[in-house]
Amino acid sequence: MSKNLRIAAACLALAAVTPAAAADPITVPISSLAELPISDTDANGWDGFYAGIYSGVQDSTAGGTQFGIGVNAGVEVQFDFYLIGTEVAVQGLSDDGAGETVYGQILGRAGLVVSDDVAVYAAGGYGIDLGPPDEQDILAGGGIELSLTDSVSVRAQYLRSFPTVGDNPKNQFTVGATYSF
């Protein structure tokens, strides 16, 4: 009986230490870059200077609906999948009732590169009506940009203006194309 007791004790001791020997860390990847919905590559050349043209519609209570065409220039920098930049734009606006005016704006842009060819961004800055009436605005909005080639992209943007001088809030919708240098 003591022999059976010794065998049982040995089996119990062996069973107690066996899980410790098999406790090697199990490495299972929980995510990979291929699974993330964002892009960290710079395939389309988001970094650098750009210039472009755009057309748009600006709607306000005092000015009504105005149509325009403009030019813009800026610089963007990509950090991983983050995109930041700044832009200067000037557009001529005209309609049948309010006449013609020139509107200038300085914007900061920050966004995400969601794929090699698509970026979404928020924009904010300062706008000024360079003709009559004297109006100055804080601008806030956003947009989406699609890269067609390494140098050419198209975009759509919405900006809402909050007047600091004058009392004429505006909604601005633009579509345009840019060339990156």
Q: H/E element holding 23? A: none
What gap in Å lies between CA 70 and CA 101, rounded to an integer?
Answer: 12
User: Count of CB atoms within 10 A of residue 87's CB?
Assistant: 21
Question: Which residues 6+ apart lie within 8 Å of 117 measured at CB?
Answer: 43, 44, 146, 147, 148
Over the stretch 87-131, which tens digit does the pLDDT of each residue have?
A: 999 999 887 666 788 999 999 999 999 998 999 999 999 999 887
Domain regions of the chain by residue span? 2-35, 48-180
Residues forming a β-bridge with 125: 107, 139
Query: Does 48-180 carry CATH code 2.60.40.420?
Result: no
Tokens 């403009």 belong to: 70
Q: Could you report the per-residue pLDDT of 159-170, keeping only the tens digit for each?
A: 999 999 888 899
